Chains A and B, each alone.
Chain A
Amino acid sequence: MLTRFRNRFAALYRNLAHKDQVDRDLDTELRAFEQLLIDEKLTGIPALDAGQARRAARIEIDATIEQIKEQVREVRMGFSLDSVARDVRISARTLRKQAGFSLTVLGVLALGIAGATAIFSMFNSLYLRPLPFPEAEHLVNLDEKAPQWNLERVAVAYPDFVAWREHNRSFSAIAVFRGTGAQISSDTGAEQVPAARATFDLLDVLKVQPAVGRWFHADEDKPNGPKLVVVSHQMWQRRFGGPAAISGQTLRIASETFQVIGVMPPGFDFPSRAEVWTALGMSAGDSTGWGLNGVARLRPGISMDKALEDLLRVHKGMIPTRKVNEITSPTIYPLREWYVGQFLPASRALLIAVTLVLLIACANIAGVMLARGSSRIREVSLMAALGASRTRIIRQLLTESLLLGVAGGVLGTLIGRSGLRLLLGLMPQNQVPGWVRFDLDWRFLMFCLAVSMGSAMLFGLWPAWSASRADLRSALHEGGARASGSAARRRSLKILITAEVALATVLLAASALLTQAFRKVEQINPGFRADNVLTYSVGLPNQKYPKPEQKLAFIEELIRKQRELPGVRFAAAVSATPLGGHWGNFYEVEGAPQKRAGDPDPVILKRVVTPDYLEAMGMTLRSGRTFNAFDGRKEGTEAVVVNETFARQFWPGQNPIGKRIRHRGGKIWWPVVGMIADVKDYGLDQESRPSVYFPLAQEPLGGLSVVVRTAARQDLAPFTNTAREVLKRLDPDIALARPVTMEQRLADSMWIRRTYSFLVAAFAVLALVLVGSGLFGVISYTVGQRRREIAIRMALGASQRVILRNVLQEAFLLAGIGLVLGVAAGAGLARISQSLRFDSPLFGVDPRDPATYAAAAAVLLAVAVSASLAPAIRASYTSPSSALRLE
């Protein structure tokens, strides 16, 4: 079958693509024929001379060579195109005649394909499409880890990077950058845009060049270097109106004037959404800690393992002059995994779910087609009697399936695309990098084509094969069809429906488990009260506010103004809100034994806050007190607040209040004045770290989030506008950045989990509907086939109840077998999911939880019973006398 199709298309291709060659061959062949004929005449019994032989041959050929060639050409082309076109034409006519059947199949198929295409499109965009950089497969992300500090991602320290860059043998280029925001001033006020500070070699790594102008040179990337800036194409258009020349153009960033030296090409997006790039300008001796992202391009032929070995050698070689490298180690991730790796478990789960739905849909359609096959036996028999070969019949029937497959595929793809668009519209910003594109590409189209064709084969092949096998002679006799093929057909139908039930069981159980996990996570106490809390960020430019007192004074003034606004209960500032990022440090506890090298030394989360912060965020004070306005204001008034995890870790079973801590190696001891309940700073499903809160007066900072708790619910937009006015009056160069409510932040942190739990549940419901309709179809069909038997039984005295029970029993049996298979498959999948480290999506919910499977089974049985109730009742009303009428 398949080889035949392949031959057909190969011939068609040959005829179309190598037309000249085919033509030349044909010419040679015909000339040879003529020559052979002449030879024959020359050596024939009445041997002719050359001229006579030629004439005789021409008479026998009876046409010119060109005429014959034309005929052959017609045949060749026509044969290839014609037979395909004829099959399609006949099939389309058949399908149109049976609109009900066709629409049912189309609907079921479109739903199955819609899910598959939507999820595949997402998967494709995240994981299959090449990154938008030349030879992106060589790009890697560099980072550092420190297991001893309980940190998988420390970020890169500049001195480490400098050594890596100088001594590595694995990378053709290596760079670091820091994603930040740039406050751009203009006449209308300051605006914060995403920005990056990068080393001069970033573009060497990415192999991209500015569209206009240039990037930084090495000697411009140093402390106090020239104030130069490269802008995005978009920024260039928006801000400068896109003039051709950039000389003399400037940008005011954080109260300083930068000269624009380059414009990146449109679509360049690295780091994600950055609009402005400035030189990192750090010195090799900089020891401010770890805060950089590394990106590098592997030399051709160098594996990631090799490169990591190389980096480790360099990194650990620094230990004599940089002791901390005993603890930290470099890490390498593929660029894609680094940026979108967090979606992988969810994407896999969804791909499996849509595959199951599609399989159920195909089984469903195969069932409908099988059942319909019985009504087509006569038609098929007629085709066979008229001389159609078996392959010809199968081909005709398969063409119908393919037509349905293509139509269902197109419809499903359209539905899937709008579904995906809906989903992406609901996606919070910054969940995926800006360079991830969700538009169509050839991979997606190939997938849609493959899925449509594959489904058509899947649901079409078996019914076509079974129909072509029908016993022709008996089929032509009136009523004979039922006697012969129907038992086998009923068996096939039962196998299909059992498989559907099994697949649906797996999907339903998986959905129930994920939903449970979601509920479990959702119910976790975040440690703060998210309702009625609005936040935004501000950054004070160092140039304008160089002294700590100036920073403190500005923030305190801003908080006071914010507090005075109507409806505000508390206003405060914090270095970073919960779910707003990690900032770690190390502290030592008074009287604690000296740590030995290699002891676990988990990093401690540090937050700097103004006095009302704990109240504004709605955190819970466990003992002691919160900060007051005097804490940390001058020497002798230092104070810190710790969380429960901190207290438990350092002073197990003791009261932390009054104990003292200090910077590791520091001089001043700070007394602990309060202990708060743990806050889920890294996400509801993540562990809390030991945390310390400092008063802002003790450690003034210039980059903070303002946190405002209102008495009643307030909308973000009007609040932000008011806050922007307040800020502008204090300093027009400072932008209000990232306004967001805490509720939104919390919801965003749950987005992936919520979305895939919901989607799997939606697919499970779809599966249930499909199984229900499938069962309804199968039971209706078998009841229809057994009408005569039922009538006879009733005539012999069987009651309606017996018949009803009988039919329901059959449905129960089918569903039961499917359920057992499904539960077994589910248990098998559970083992696989555990080995695939699927524990994070399940969040401690046992993938073999018996109650969940029992519930899934109950739901499926309920569906089975309700689906078969109508045909069962109909069967029980069969009139006994109809036994006489039916043939």
Chain B
Amino acid sequence: MNTNADAIVIGAGIIGATTALALTNAGMKVLVIDRGNIASGTTSAGEGNILVSDKAPGPELDLALRSRDAWFEIQEDIGGGFELEAKGGLVVARSESGVVGLRALTSVQRQAGIDAQDVSEADLRALEPHLSHSITDGALYPQDSQCQPMLAAAEILRAVRMRGGEFIAGANVTAINTSNGAVTGVVTSEGTFNAPIIVNATGTWAGQIAELAGSSLPIAPRRGFILVSVPTRKIIFHKVYDAEYVANVSSGEADLQSSAVVEGTQSGTILIGASRERVGFKDGIDFEILRVLARQAIALFPILADIQLLRAYRGFRPYAPDHLPVIGEDPLFKGFWHNAGHEGAGIGLAPASAQLIVDGILGRTSFMDATPFSPTRFTRGEVS
């Protein structure tokens, strides 16, 4: 099969979709392939977070700040349809040390350009009337947003198709062809497709795709569970989470870490996260973790004790050893670009990551220096 694409994007999750849109908008003819269907990996296993609040100053925060605004630009560009909402994040501290840590964090975040507002006890009640009375300190992040990630991926890919791109579902990549140190195409269960540029946007599975070309990427799964309640009246108004979450996000521990993240959705359900553990692609439901999540959520919102759990799901965050995404050209093969490893922040970071990829491919100056995300950092020995 010959599709004469300028670029092939492997992966139809949020990273693949936004990358395909950015390439298309730059004038390239793009083919997107996925072994499953739209959003069949980690994209459908999260809450749709677009957060700036959970990041300390550094390259990832610069990426997040740009990406947050880029989400609203995509909404303008393609006409929305994916429930994008600046609902605001509310981070609460439950201990003395937590309060001190949170104040210190908001202070440096403000210097880095985040709108981070320290919230008094009275204001906390006004923002979240059902919050536990034992909680007296918090910080509000009006920039924190949310979207429905499956719809976002689907709507974005629809725009790509309408603008001349192509999407093939159920195409499992079995080989990546290279010649003279450059990629030339992919062999899939649905045929062979050739293009001088191949973007690996396969998230948690990006290491396997890199290996098919003869390269490597140290991306591993970090499992997480989410509880979903029955639909209720609106009782939680922001994305509310425990300040400990910020520490857990950047932790390298393999053991289970869990801190409450609670929010309502447009469909009336309440989502409760977030656990993190490195146990490989372990299947099944771990009821010990569900119990911890329920306990932590009730500690924030005692009213949740009487609300029924409807279902639970798990996902595998794509995780690199230094917790930074991998965005850039492969050190061994020209034309082979990686855009993966965004861990639990993939939805939020997707549009700006896509922009870095396109600017890299076209050799343009981008909104930030992409060196911290380069895949060469693993081979240079900077990260072990």
Do A and B share a complex? no
Interface residues of A (CB under 8 A from B): none
